[in-house]
Chains A and B, each alone.
Chain A
Amino acid sequence: MIKLLSDTLAMWRKLAQHLVVPMLCAVLAVLIIIIDVSMDWKWLAEIIQATGRTLIQTLATLTIFILLFYVVTLLITQVVSFYWRNPKIYGVIMTIFLICLVVFNSFPILYYLYLFDEYLDLKNSSMALYSVMIGSLMFANGMLYYVFSHAMFEIIAETERLYIISAEYKNTNVADYIREKLAWIILSASGSIFYYLLSFTLFTDLFLDYVSIEESQMGVIGKLFIIIAETGWTTAAVVCLLSLLAIVLPIRLFVCQLPLWLWERRRLIDVQK
């Protein structure tokens, strides 16, 4: 009980430590707006709205990605638990799957945006536009292949470990262990995947410009990129960056880091039991 309490306290302390940087960024952004006469609160509100649009896009893609990973995970665990003593079949199934990913990932993200733009009237349908943007982010430059191939090789390495080999002689099964390993892989990588997707919204933002959708609909990464490209590292760019970090870092902390810590904590308790 005392151990549980101290673990919880340690986790809250860790959370508070991670919140220092975003709070500092928020304070700095506010201070700059107060001091610099060329900046106004309307600008900050605009940046916050743009960050919101980017976050909706990123979180929607991340959710779909995790759901997809979960479905594939279930399939992999079934395949492994059936065929882990017959690696040839496992190898063939995974080869086919990875080759499909190779084909999808050989095209850049914008190819998918253009492809859909040709068939759907994206400019006049915001729902279709956002669906296409989220779908395209899924294929953002090789990420699917990188994450899935990494997961598969981790599983192969895991099946060689003693606790998996001996699983059938104990009151457990291979699929449970594999599923647990895969859950850890996705949870530990979710923070980086979140940032990766967030950064790739640059392309979806610039695509809005390409299909002549007004700049006010653009996300924060596209806005920041345009400010820096046009005027360099001005006060506006710094405020934009600080506001972005002040919002995005806590979101990343609560959406990606916290579930990992909670999951690891639960695992620790299970092990101790």
Chain B
Amino acid sequence: MRKPQTTLNIVTTLMQLITIVIVISLFMWLQWQLLSVFNTVNDSISVEKSSLPFGMSLNYNLSENILGELYRIQSDRTQAGWSTLLALNLHYFYALGMTLLLAFLSAILLSVMAYLIAMGIDELEVRGWWGASTSMYHLFDTLPYILWTIVFLSLGLAIFSHNPAGSVQYFIFLLCLYVGFGMFLLPFFIQENVRKFRGARHDGVFDGESMSGLSDWQIRLRLLHYRFSGAFKRQILYGAIFMMLFDFSLYSIVSTHQPGHTATVFVQGNIYYQKHYREAEIELKLAQSFSYQELLNAFAAQVPTEHEAQPLAKRLVNRTWEMLDISNRENLQAQLENDEHTFLITITKEDSVESFDQDRLLEQLRLSQKEQEVIFFKHLSNYYIYMNVLVLFGLFMLFFIIFDLRKLFQNA
């Protein structure tokens, strides 16, 4: 009799271990990447600091937006590194806590709503009012689900606009928004619950319970506690994951952020991606000149490896954030000037081919402030995006291990 439990325990432990290893190693990798970016920024700041005479105001040769972001993260724009990483993590986990609270509260509301509606449908079916029960189900299944999201969004905005500074109003706005996202699942959940009621009726649970004097409504509520609690919890966890995924889906197309309030982790990722990275990237693309990365990529790919600047160029191509360090750029400049090998590289841009010899390359190889922003904010938005994926993966695995794995191995 102990054998099935042993198999399940082994598989569960294995799954937990695999999940923990994946989550921790990816988390560490993301931390290491971001720390490298911050250290490079710090190196750039240090070089500038040491080169300036005492008493002069600092001009870091770094984009003002990058320095502004450092100030926003850690209230200090004169250095970056470990402290920046810690401060950013603190921001992230604070926002994550709020996001999880929001998602679970909304998921509980949604699951309760689905259960109550299913109770109503079951009651109508028991009374033989099939037309009414079908209409009740179709009420939530006739409008495309996205319209429910819009309705809830409008409701949330109406509440929020009464007092945009109030944190309670803001939280209610987010709650409405998340419940609106969850409306995609409502028909699935209602259908699932109605089938469970039918199954319980078929198994004679209602007949048995009604012998003890309970009404059908009371029996359905008792069933939630004694028979369907596992399925109900599963719906809550799945609902929370889905709502977060939906918020994540909006990350680069629609901003639901209200200034002055803490954004969810997905919206914060959206801000880094859309407002900082994407805007800078578009401006960079619109500029007629060639970017530092384009020139360097062409140099690394087309110039023979004997060239003195090749190792550094290749390193900068692979570790783009190191371009932010002014000393790296100066070293590359010096190596390009010193080496006597001649070369000619060609770059195709918008159907025109441009050639660069040593002199032209040295003249054009400048890292603009916009390009610095593209590099810096790409890493910041990537950090948020992959951390969010990691959170969702972790929650999905938790969902799988707690609810589904048990079912898969219940007879094993």
A interface residues with partner B (beta carbon < 8 Å): 21, 87-88, 90-92, 94-95, 98-99, 102-103, 105-111, 114, 141-142, 145-146, 149, 152-153, 156, 160, 188-189, 191-192, 195-196, 198-200, 202-203, 206-207, 209-210, 221, 224-225, 228, 241, 244-245, 248-249
11 new A-B contacts, CB < 8 A, other than A192-B191, A195-B187, are: A87-B412, A98-B404, A105-B245, A108-B245, A153-B404, A160-B411, A189-B191, A195-B141, A196-B145, A199-B184, A210-B253
Q: Does B238 contact A (CB under 8 A)?
A: yes
Q: Is the CB of B408 within 8 A of A94?
A: yes
* 28 interchain pairs, CB-CB under 8 A: A87-B410, A91-B11, A91-B408, A95-B408, A99-B400, A102-B393, A106-B393, A108-B246, A108-B251, A109-B249, A110-B249, A110-B251, A141-B249, A142-B238, A142-B241, A142-B242, A146-B188, A153-B404, A156-B408, A156-B410, A192-B141, A196-B184, A199-B184, A203-B249, A209-B253, A210-B253, A221-B146, A228-B150
B interface residues with partner A (beta carbon < 8 Å): 7, 11, 15, 141-147, 150, 184, 187-188, 191, 238, 241-242, 245-246, 248-249, 251-254, 385, 389, 392-393, 396-397, 400, 404-405, 407-412
Residues of B within 8 A of A145 (CB): 396
Q: Is the CB of B392 within 8 A of A149?
A: no
A92 to B12 Cα, complex, angstroms: 11
Residues of A within 8 A of B242 (CB): 141-142
Residues of B within 8 A of A249 (CB): 142
Tell me what chain A mostly uses at the interface: helix, strand, loop, or mixed: helix
Q: Is the CB of A199 within 8 A of B145?
A: yes
Q: Is the CB of B146 within 8 A of A199?
A: yes
Q: Is the CB of B254 within 8 A of A206?
A: yes
Residues of A within 8 A of B252 (CB): 110, 114, 210
Q: Known contacts A146-B238, A156-B407, A202-B146; decide if A207 and B141 are in contact (CB<8 Å).
A: no
Q: Is the CB of A108 within 8 A of B248?
A: yes
Residues of B within 8 A of A244 (CB): 144
Task: State the Cβ distance, A26 to closest chain B Cβ, in Å.
Answer: 15
Least CB separation from A21: chain B residue: B142
A196 to B148 Cα, complex, angstroms: 12
Q: Is the CB of A241 within 8 A of B147?
A: yes
Task: State the Cβ distance, A16 to closest chain B Cβ, in Å.
Answer: 14
A107 to B410 Cα, complex, angstroms: 29
Residues of A within 8 A of B389 (CB): 106-107, 111
Residues of A within 8 A of B249 (CB): 108-110, 141, 203
Q: Is the CB of A102 within 8 A of B397?
A: yes
A210 to B407 Cα, complex, angstroms: 42
- Closest CB pairs A-B (n = 6): A108-B249, A106-B393, A199-B146, A87-B411, A88-B412, A199-B145
